[in-house]
Structure 1
């Protein structure tokens, strides 16, 4: 039904049109979700009342039907194909190459997690895919085959596609030291002007820096006609949403430049649950007409049949996953992963880390280290890897109370009182109660109250001069990843996070964890 509706809309637009009309599909933040997901983008168990969503086989079905209607359809991937499920933890880039080649993208931008295994993990992917990989703001003599942009032709008209990657990638991933990242907007602007000088009048930027930066780019780079983004996992929608996801803005988000031009910004959530679909009409001068002919993120639900051939391609990989499908514990209530606030999933993971080190009540883990939640019911090894796919060790360091406060202050340095920012850092905690005040001019002084849970269960104020054992993940102890990296001289290495959470789930079966007021954040917009 969804595909038929698109075909009808598309035919009406093309038949009466002058100039060129582009059909564009886009995805972002797939994070190795090759199989379908449940309504909350966790593992599909096959027992869901309303069925499951997305996955490579549904994507293939929808993409093939759209391309049948318009063979010149542009298909973009805005980055973060790597990391996020057991598929990447066990198989690394190999299934990413296979299934991305099956979908045959027009181009893909690099995301920060595509660097998680460094150049050694990224270069084979770039070498083996059948489409251009783009990043205009990266310079490296070591990285081969990544371009600033690519140019395709639609009905004889040149269309330029420019890629960009998050400037903060070195702090969030494992890019090599000889890879240099530059300002996204300045880099895209320079490449757009170069393309204009070559006679390319339609220019699309696709990249992985988040909704806020995408809107800024659309406002400031005069040469752009469209921005296709990723990284922030933003769900955009106009009208009543087709599922449980809450829109953070309209789809598309129209940004007006100072010269009066309007540049749409789009993003398609994450994990293959949606795929963005646009028709873009340009006049003879290469100017985009708006509102657009058709624009919506398409929910890949049960109405989109799975492609049987792609399903067959998935089967050999699934054989290797069987050892991780045995139930190991029971979850009494759904555990949700929330960003930039306390979450039930974060509480469980942090508690498991603290329990791994006798005598240490405090544990900290970054939001980005927790990739998904878990539904009520039996949990498997696959679920654990989907939550914690990075294979970090759970380590212990020693911090004074003053140092602990500095670490926690740094975690909210990017927060805005009006909540319009997209912070990159935040800690889920165990053994602490934190009260934050987020004001315009109180950076470094945002902790209003900080209490520590003693071994006998009491909460007492953290004392600056006392030394506290703190448990965290090895990623945060790498140089540049967090303030805790300054204190590795006291580090003792522990077991893998997968082992720690698995053992905790077994020992505490059934598991019942909720949000309980560990972290309170007050946003104050007054100066």
Structure 2
């Protein structure tokens, strides 16, 4: 595969020389404008998905995104930048891993091949790049033909005798512990130097699974050190790639105002006003937070962000403008009253085409033929084999929200929350019991569940590649009732940022099997679980949790590690922890097969009252 013409070397050579340079740029520079395209949280969605939107008064559905459309659109904006004489960068805000059967089958290798083909200039490491430990990440970086950034990731304790150490990879930019300095790159464009660095979540060890021989430095402290080092070398144009989420991006911009541009990820935020499509307007795109321009491009390769940023002769941002564009295919359907969507009429097709042509936040984009061929020949056959195995019927869509009343898609589940996560917790309970490893309760964190279960046929592929893509092993352990309650309350507090303390995200919110609880956010800490009851199989009755009694608990290994507010789970009885080796997605597949038809549980496991309600 032909490398992108900028390759890795120009970045890395300047990066390596940077420590030896002492000259600064004393004379004013000419104004400079950069053109930057970006994606983030693509999660191996090579084939894209479906988008429901309003084309004027007509509600339609169309195919959206996917890597071949992203490549096609990136080539268009790259060509535009070339015609305007503008330097062009194509950046990825992290989380290429997970999300589909392509990752289940090929780990990071398929992503490396396709992102190379797109011609990326750099990518920051996302939290899901660590889900399987460091080795798949190292193998991905080893195949990448572009720099991969984790400027606050410290490898000074890394075991260099392991099979795939990160420190030996020439295109991996990380923290230099000897210098006490985060790694960065410098690129010369139009005779001027631009600095680039990338931040990983400082609490990556808490929310994901990197090897234990690495460490992560603070986001703000690392950014301050890098910007100071760049300024000392006369570099006054600084771009930060980040995978820390929009709120933290804004916090870094406040703390380090000399960062000019932040290209973000992690929060899956589609910045810009999409209300013309009947979609959300979360926050503005290319928003100026102080003197820093911040962008992010949603999720799942559905959109491409593109903007230009202009600097004056002193390196100050004078203009930053652009937009996210949703990339849709040319096949539209509409419900004409039958309850099912069918292809639109010729008249409506013309209406939709005209609507799209008149709006710059959505575009008709044909897939790049070469990339589609690469996917179809090298990767798709193995995926289709799994996709075709039907395991259950779903009469009605089962919705998923992380926190009751809060959802990216707006699912109306205000009190009891997800319909899917309790089924997954129940699948753990039933399968552990069938393995002669019966437990009293099970716990499923909502972030481990990645989608709703759509009406129709449920396949192995939808479970292993979309619903539960992380392949987390199930574990069991023994715990006092008081610690079990503390873990549940702690996880919810973490998920909802209770008491003004920023948590690690709403994915911490717990759903349970054979246990139900009521959470009241208006109560003092430690007293917010007002009801906790366990379902007794023998009697079919609910019994109150006994704080002094020891219970046997099942969960994923991730949850049992005490991350995301589940710290009290580490108070388990010594010697009680058992790794079953049974994966969460395999358990749900077996459960779905046994059920034949999937419906919500006959009882709700969560009653949730937010603070102030």
Shorter-chain TM band:
0.7 to 0.9
Match of residue 279 from structure 1: 308
Structure 1: distance between partners of 2:229 and 2:600? 54
Displacement of 1:49 after TM fit? Answer: 6.6
1:345 aligns to 2:420 (yes or no):
yes
Counting only pairs closer than 5 Å after superposition, residues 65-104 of structure 1 correspond to structure 2 as 65-71=76-82, 72-104=87-119
Q: Which residue of the other structure, out of 382, 386, 398, is the alignment partner of 1:324?
A: 386
Count of residues paired in the alignment = 493
Distance 1:396 1:180, change over 3 A: closer
**Runs of 5+ unmatched residues, structure 1:** 1-17, 41-47, 257-261
Structure 2: distance between partners of 1:458 and 1:270? 43
Normalising by structure 1, we get a TM-score of 0.87
Question: Is the 8 Å Cα contact of residues 110 and 133 (structure 1) preserved in structure 2?
Answer: yes
Distance 1:241 1:211, change over 3 A: farther
Task: Output the aligned Cα RMSD.
Answer: 2.6
Q: Which residue of the other structure, out of 364, 368, 373, is the alignment partner of 1:312?
A: 373
Question: Is the 8 Å Cα contact of residues 355 and 361 (structure 1) preserved in structure 2?
Answer: no
Match of residue 26 from structure 1: 38
Distance 1:156 1:175, change over 3 A: same
Match of residue 318 from structure 2: 289
Question: Is the 8 Å Cα contact of residues 74 and 304 (structure 2) preserved in structure 1?
Answer: no
Displacement of 1:60 after TM fit? Answer: 0.6
Match of residue 68 from structure 2: 57
Counting only pairs closer than 5 Å after superposition, residues 31-430 of structure 1 correspond to structure 2 as 31-39=43-51, 50-71=61-82, 72-141=87-156, 142=158, 143-144=166-167, 145=170, 146-147=172-173, 148-238=183-273, 240=275, 242=277, 244=279, 246-256=280-290, 262-290=291-319, 292=320, 294-302=321-329, 303-315=364-376, 316-326=378-388, 327-341=390-404, 342-358=417-433, 360=439, 362-385=441-464, 386-414=466-494, 415-416=496-497, 421=502, 423-424=504-505, 425-430=508-513
Structure 2: distance between partners of 1:418 and 1:241? 37
Question: Is the 8 Å Cα contact of residues 335 and 514 (structure 1) preserved in structure 2?
Answer: no
Distance 1:523 1:252, change over 3 A: farther
Displacement of 1:348 after TM fit? Answer: 2.2
Distance 1:422 1:59, change over 3 A: farther
Q: Per the alignment, in what secondary structure is the counterpart of residue 575 of structure 2?
A: helix
Q: Per the alignment, in what secondary structure is the counterpart of residue 318 of structure 2?
A: coil
Question: Is the 8 Å Cα contact of residues 418 and 523 (structure 1) preserved in structure 2?
Answer: no
Distance 1:361 1:335, change over 3 A: farther
- Which range is displaced more, 183-192 or 84-93? 84-93
**Runs of 5+ unmatched residues, structure 2:** 1-29, 53-58, 159-165, 174-182, 330-363, 405-416
Match of residue 589 from structure 2: 502
Q: Per the alignment, in what secondary structure is the counterpart of residue 433 of structure 1?
A: strand
Structure 2: distance between partners of 1:235 and 1:433? 35
Larger radius of gyration: 2
Structure 2: distance between partners of 1:120 and 1:235? 31
Q: Per the alignment, in what secondary structure is the counterpart of residue 470 of structure 1?
A: strand
Displacement of 1:56 after TM fit? Answer: 0.8
